[in-house]
Chain A
Amino acid sequence: MKRIGSLLIIFCSLSCLVLAKEAKPLSNDPELEKRLMALSEQLRCLVCQNETLAGSQADLAADLRDVIREQMKAGKSDKEIVAYLTDRYGKFILYNPPVDPTTYLLWFGPFVFLLAGLMFLFRYLKQRRELISDQPLSAAEHRQAETLLKPAQEKKTA
Chain B
Amino acid sequence: MARFVNNMRFAIPLIIFLIIAGFLASRLRGGYDPHIIPSALINKPAPEFQLQQLRNPAQTFSPTQMRGKVWLLNVWASWCVGCREEHPYLMELSRSGGIPLYGLNWKDKREDALGVLEQMGDPYVLNASDFDGRVAIDYGITGAPETYLIDQNGVIRYKEVGQLTPEIMEQKILPVVRGLNK
Binding site for B on A (CB under 8 A): 46-47, 49, 59-60, 63-64, 67, 86-90, 92
Contact = CB atoms under 8 A, between A and B. Distances in A.
Nearest to A62: B133
B37 A92 contact: yes
B interface: dominant SS:
loop
Contact of B139 (A49, A59, A60, A88): A88
Contact of A88 (B41, B132, B133, B143): B41
Interface string B143-169: 100000000000000000000000000
A46 B41 contact: no
Contact of A90 (B133, B140, B143): B140
A88 B107 contact: no
Contacts of A59: 107, 133
Which of B107, B137, B139, B141 counts the most chain A CB atoms within 10 A? B137
Interface in B37-92: 37-41
B134 interface: yes
Q: What bracket does the count of chain B residues touching chain A fall in?
A: 10 to 19
B108 to A, nearest CB: 12
B98 interface: no
B159 to A, nearest CB: 11
B138 interface: yes
A87 B137 contact: no
A90 B37 contact: yes
A88 B37 contact: no
B30 interface: no
B34 interface: yes
Given A47-B142, A60-B142, A67-B134, A89 B37 contact: yes
Given A47-B143, A59-B107, A60-B142, A88 B35 contact: no
B137 A49 contact: no
Contact of B133 (A46, A47, A63): A63
30 contacts: A46-B37, A46-B142, A47-B142, A47-B143, A49-B34, A49-B35, A59-B107, A59-B133, A60-B141, A60-B142, A63-B132, A63-B133, A63-B134, A63-B137, A64-B137, A67-B134, A67-B137, A86-B40, A87-B40, A88-B40, A88-B41, A88-B137, A88-B139, A88-B140, A89-B40, A89-B140, A89-B142, A90-B37, A92-B37, A92-B38
